[in-house]
Structure 1
Amino acid sequence: MSRQSVFAVAFLALVLGMAADASAAVSKRFGSVSIACDEARHCAASVQAANQDKASVVVLQRSPESRARWTVSISTLGVLADRNRPVAVSVDNGVDITLYPGSDYAPFVHPSDYYIVSPAALGRLMLQIQRGHMLRFSFIDIAGKAHTDRFPLDGLADALNEIDRQQGRIPGDRRAGPPEDLPEAPDVDAGAHLSAAGVPPRLLELHLASAACEKPDAADIAAAEPLIAPLGETAMLYVIPCYRSSSGLASRLYTIDRGEIGGINPLLFAGFSDRLGWYGVDVLFDVAYDAASLSLQASGADDNGCAFKAGWTFTDTAFRLDRLSAATSCGDAASGWRDVYPAR
């Protein structure tokens, strides 16, 4: 990486740090826009999104060299956007500028810093944002949830003019281009990232809507951690403790798919007892999952305590039943098992 790009990376980190901390000192402020320049006259104008706590930040940055062009980046500080999906920007609810991954936008330096690299999109956007009042940025995060951030643009034109002045540039030079000499952002292990993030609030809300499930801080399940693991390139498995009984720790299972269709899917499994025959069950006990083989092991029981134990393998979009054994007697007196599927 060249010395110039090292300066640019360090300066962008400073700008984002200032944007994340509203109390941090800035060189100047014009309306909603803050500007900052370092001693080498690398300058940036930043705008924080107005619609969330951990707000995204738009940064327009330019180096002091006479041929340097503006770069435009959006850093999502609260969530991580799915870099394999299109995103959209628009000004004042006008026609969307759709940006496609790779050809129109790409992450540089950090996985959450997305730079617009399309000359056509940059030219159109630079004209619109100087005259507009609100920039909208729409994207889908790596968990498959849609987001829309809105950035107030009041003061932006004055802020860019001030940077022109500080850099000794021709007023109104708004030529923009992709970043030069910046390293591409490292790949993200989406599964590891989502596992570390825990259960999404929207899934926890759905889980607690069931009257049977206790809150996570309930005394008998407080020590039980959710099981979160990948099911493939776009799907994640969430095993969330529900209650504890004599049969063990009961959990409900869900998938979240961040693919084209996507969404949250509560899982239903096949159970068996001599009393009911085959039936559906949405609670399993003592769940174990192996991410390498995509195999699931668990037990279950009907309302009379007629137990079964089974194994499943995830294939494409659902868990396939591999084997199931049913208890030869019900309740605490259960003493043996017989194979039900595959039948012998």
Structure 2
Amino acid sequence: MTPRHINILISAVMVFFAATGAGAQPGRTLPGFDTWTVDCGNTGVCFASSLTRAQSVWVDVRIVRDWQAEVPPLVRVTTNTELPKDGTLQFEVDGKTIEALPLEQLREMQPAVTAPAGFRPLGGEGFWYPTGPATAALLEAMQKGRELTVRLPAVNGGDPVAVPVSLQGLKSSLLWLDNRQNRTGTVSAIVSPGTETAKDAPHALPLVSADQLPPEVAAIWSANRLCSEIDPAIFASQNAVRVPLADGASLYIIPCGAPSAYNSPYVTVLAGKDGAARQVHVARMSEKGPMATDLIYNARWVPAEMELISYFKGSGIGECGLWNRWSWNGTGLVLLEEAARKTCDGTAPDLSNWSSTWPAKNASN
């Protein structure tokens, strides 16, 4: 067994036992690690985050990493409180000051940080932490520590606010990021870097404008369900992507019209290397059996697994509705799993407990 395989095995074991959702239905819910959550966007940008509240003030600390082999992790801090023009934002790990950053200087450096394509900032005032050695030093201290304290300066004569962020679960979250982006055992791993050369993580390419669609793809999109009747600004915010495929073809996941209150519809179009394009329909289950549909709701593409997820919400909370997962098999999308919940009762969403409609309970193995 090679050192890389050993690292992957150890990382996988640590992630499995640290995840609070280890017993959840696979694929429906992402793991959680104490107070830290993990996720990836449609492009393959991934993050680990922890949102902590101290009285009426909350702070979100987020480690963000794009898919390119050479890009380092970034740290972003967001708070819901209005910060003054002057003052200092201070970071401590277990009582030791790591960095004290003047707000004026911090705001001036923000344009120099290139946010990953597909990254969607939280509401509130957000800052990218100084990149390069400063970020590396903060992440190293956080991995070794028990608690990060973010000290916010006083506003309008009030008292400074110290928000404690637990670091329990952080290392497992970062291991999850390394594994999802195939960085474990490479020089670019955040946790326990190895010696292997870093490679691009599984990814898709962002589409922020309909002008990026090839003519053949645009023709199908425009002719289907009035999909092209969408404001360009809304299109840009819908995380549309082009998925490069091994044979030179591309799978396009594109918004179809304006989103409703809870749901955004999408369609998928396959374009061959010769330019020819066709719409890709997907299977889902009905009370009378399988049926084909062309709409995917609130589409999530998982580059690492080559899977597409649809989550139709029956309410704003999302505790009821329909959830589907398909896998790309080279020519189409194969239905792997479907789950539904009809009762909209205002409870917290828990898709791991939704009833499975596929695979069917009485299906033969």
State the TM-score bracket (shorter-chain normalisation): 0.3 to 0.5
Query: What TM-score do the two structures reach when normalised by structure 2?
Result: 0.37
TM-score (norm 1): 0.39
- Give the number of the structure with larger relative contact order, counting CA–CA contacts within 8 Å between residues 6 or more apart: 2
